[in-house]
């Protein structure tokens, strides 16, 4: 028996919005520690790794480890039926081939339940090595979203160049080119508005904006986003999910032919 | 030009 209730159901709604355009389907792995998901997009260029810790749910019950194969577009459709104020409970029986979602209004006057079929999904889990990255940039998530959106007007790729002075995002295409430079500003009054750079070694990497724009669907989850980079390895884009977990996106770089 | 790498070039299947 698996049962997990999140009082702040809107977080789960946002999590679904953050992954459903990148992944058609995915397996949620549930154990006593919480729920997690790892899946690559169909072209194997990017990967989503999502963790929701058991402590974030009340109650959380997982009698035995289970893998729930879920069509994420269907799950997202059903979650749109929950109000932002509702709690969301996810339930799955031990041998069932369905999952049930229960949405409850804050005063308990309205309770909705939706049942959905589970899927058999063949998944390849990738081993992600522990890496110390040359550059770790933290910036406001809305700012990163804006940069990706703006540079998509100019070209298909963005080159991110990180030095101790700041980080520069550049794109070029048929109409010309554009550069956006952000300086480090850890001293702003509001922590959420800070741009901070931890750098061991400068790095320059090029990525497809199409995928970064998919990642930016996670912007409503967190005021800040963390970009971790080293030359010639995949980029990590991380958003915290409140106090209960994170969604990490990995993106393979584009390399000069 | 640039070539899009695959993630499987970097991460091995478990």
CA angle A159, A255, B2 (to 5 degrees): 80
A122-149 tens-digit pLDDT: 888 899 999 999 999 999 999 999 999 9
Chain B interface residues facing chain A, Cβ-Cβ under 8 Å? Answer: 1-14
Low-confidence ranges of chain A (pLDDT < 70): none
Whether A234 sits inside 8 A of B14 (CB atoms) is no
Residue B8 C-alpha, separation from nearest chain A C-alpha, in angstroms: 7
What is the DSSP code string of chain A?
Answer: -EEEEESSTHHHHHHHHHHTTT-SEEEEEEETTEEEEEEE-TTSSEEEEEEEEGGGSSSEEESS-EEEEEEHHHHHHHHTTS-TT-EEEEEE-SS-SEEEEEEE-TTSS-EEEEEEE-------PEE------SEEEEEEHHHHHHHHHHHHTT-SEEEEEE-SSEEEEEEEETTEEEEEEEE--TTSSSGGG--EEEESS-EEEEEEHHHHHHHGGGGGG-SEEEEEE-TTS-EEEEEEETTTEEEEEEEPPEEE-
Whether A127 sits inside 8 A of B2 (CB atoms) is no
CB neighbours of residue A187 within 10 Å? 6
Longest dimension (CA), chain B: 32
Low-confidence ranges of chain B (pLDDT < 70): none
Q: What is the pLDDT of residue A94?
A: 82
Residue A139 C-alpha, separation from nearest chain B C-alpha, in angstroms: 25
Interface size, chain A vs chain B, as Cβ–Cβ contacts under 8 Å:
58
Q: Which among A47, A254, A257 has CB closest to B7? A: A47
CA A248 to chain centroid, in Å, comes to 5
Q: What is the pLDDT of residue A123?
A: 81
- A36–chain B Cβ distance below 8 A for any pair: no
Mutate to test the interface with A, among B11, B12, B13, B14 (most CBs of A within 10 A): B11
Which of A5, A114, A119 has its CA nearest to residue A61?
A: A5
- 118-137 in A: which are within 8 Å (CB) of B? 124-129
Q: What is the pLDDT of residue A158?
A: 98
Q: Which residue has the tokens 């970009």?
A: A227
Q: What is the pLDDT of residue A29?
A: 96
Contact A163, A148 (CB under 8 A): no
Burial classification of residue A27, based on how many CB atoms lie within 10 Å of its CB (0-12 exposed, 13-18 middle, 19 or more buried): buried
Q: Which residues of A touch B8 (CB under 8 A)?
A: 44, 126
Whether B11 sits inside 8 A of A127 (CB atoms) is yes
Q: What is the pLDDT of residue A152?
A: 98
Contact A17, A76 (CB under 8 A): yes
Q: What is the pLDDT of residue A188?
A: 77
Q: What is the pLDDT of residue A100?
A: 97
Whether A234 sits inside 8 A of B7 (CB atoms) is yes
For B10, which residue in chain A has the nearest alpha carbon? A233
Residues 6+ apart with CB under 8 A from A146: none
């Amino acid at each position: 028996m698996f049962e997990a209730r999140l009082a702040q159901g809107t977080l789960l709604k946002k999590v679904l919005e953050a992954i459903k355009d990148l992944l058609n389907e995915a397996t949620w792995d549930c154990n006593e520690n919480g729920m997690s998901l790892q899946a690559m997009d169909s072209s194997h260029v990017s990967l989503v790794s999502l963790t929701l810790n058991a402590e974030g749910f009340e109650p959380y019950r997982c009698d035995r480890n289970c893998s729930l194969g879920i069509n994420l577009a269907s799950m997202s459709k059903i979650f749109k039926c929950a109000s932002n104020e509702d709690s969301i409970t996810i339930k799955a029986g031990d041998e069932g081939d369905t999952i049930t979602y229960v949405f409850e209004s804050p005063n308990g006057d309205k309770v909705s339940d939706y049942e959905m079929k589970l899927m058999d999904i063949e998944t390849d889990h990738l081993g992600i090595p522990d890496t110390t990255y040359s550059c770790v940039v933290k910036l406001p998530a809305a700012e990163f979203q804006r940069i990706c959106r703006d540079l998509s007007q100019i070209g298909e790729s963005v080159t991110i160049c990180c030095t101790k002075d700041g980080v520069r995002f550049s794109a070029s295409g048929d109409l010309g080119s554009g550069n956006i430079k952000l300086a480090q500003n850890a001293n702003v009054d509001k922590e959420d508005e800070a741009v901070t750079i931890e750098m061991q070694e400068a790095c320059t990497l090029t990525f497809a904006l199409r995928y970064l724009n998919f990642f930016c669907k996670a912007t409503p989850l967190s005021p800040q986003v963390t970009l971790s980079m080293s030359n010639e390895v995949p980029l990590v884009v991380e958003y915290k999910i409140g106090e209960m977990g994170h969604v990490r996106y990995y993106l393979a770089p584009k390399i000069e032919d | 030009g640039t070539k899009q790498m695959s993630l499987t070039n970097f991460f091995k299947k478990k």
